[in-house]
Amino acid sequence: MASLPRRIALLALAARERSLHATSRALSPESGVARSCSRPATAAIWLRPLGREFGARRRAVFVHGLLALCALGCNDARVKEPTRLANADQWARVTDPASDLFAAMRPADATCDASGVYVDPTTMGLEIDTGLCDYVTLAQPTTVELIAGDIVEIVVYHDVLMALTPDAEGYVGLAIDGEVIWEMTVPIPRGPETLSEEIEIERDIPAGATMQLHVHNHGANTWELQSLMCKPPASD
């Protein structure tokens, strides 16, 4: 049998081990620090008051990380290079005045023969012969999503513009998702020229949103939509 002093020492050692074991279990496993501490009893002194703060910090870091990932990924839909926004052979005439964003410009004697709107076989651009169709609004859905800051580039060509009436004008306009984003009025008579414009998009517009292209003028003239592109911002 062990002597009394030795028994007392063994009992004290066992009690200390039980205390250390209990302290280790009391430490929050979420902290991820207790296992790396060589002295749990010491770690317990400073980990206990910091346990909640550490967890809160971890959650804050997680949330900020998600926000950062969102900032990096939210614009994944933005085009990375100039992309065709419309197809020349997909335009359809808008015949219902209630759906025509340019209906207020429609003259009472406006006429439009379907043969006056076609795809030029040489340039593959959309061509409108106002001798056959002097007022037309055409529509088709956008091919890509537009992100605020994107650039829509439109290039329109017209041949020599002539009219029998004085002070005549030609007009071309583009609307996307119910909003006219570009328009141009050209006095007639006028020589041939190319009209080119870059318009910055101010709000996000989903792919498939309705675009409307409108042309009207006095006299027998020819207009051609040569290009309608979406481009990323210059900084991208």
| Stronger pLDDT, 31 or 127, i.e. the higher one | 127
Q: What is the mean pLDDT of residues 56-61?
A: 57
Identity of the residue numbered 36: S
**Span 83-231 CATH architecture:** Sandwich (2.60)
> Binning pLDDT at 50, 70 and 90, where does residue 62 land?
low
- Evaluate if residue 90 carries a pLDDT over 60: yes
- Evaluate if residue 61 carries a pLDDT over 70: no
- Evaluate if residue 3 carries a pLDDT over 60: no
> Binning pLDDT at 50, 70 and 90, where does residue 163 land?
confident
Minimum mean pLDDT among 16-20, 91-95, 182-186, 206-210: which range? Answer: 16-20
The predicted structure's pLDDT at residue 184: 96
- Evaluate if residue 71 carries a pLDDT over 60: no
Are β-strands 168-176 and 210-217 bridged in parallel, bridged antiparallel, or unpaired? Answer: antiparallel
The predicted structure's pLDDT at residue 64: 53
Minimum mean pLDDT among 9-13, 53-57, 65-69, 119-123: which range? Answer: 65-69
Model pTM score: 0.68
Share of the chain above pLDDT 70, in %: 67
Domain ranges of the chain: 4-73, 83-231
Q: What is the mean pLDDT of residues 98-126?
A: 95
Residue 100 CA to residue 61 CA, distance in Å, equals 51
189 closest CA partner among 169, 209, 216:
169
* Distance set, CA 182 to CA 171, 173, 199, 201 (Å): 11, 6, 7, 11
* Average model confidence (pLDDT) across the chain: 80
> Binning pLDDT at 50, 70 and 90, where does residue 30 land?
very low
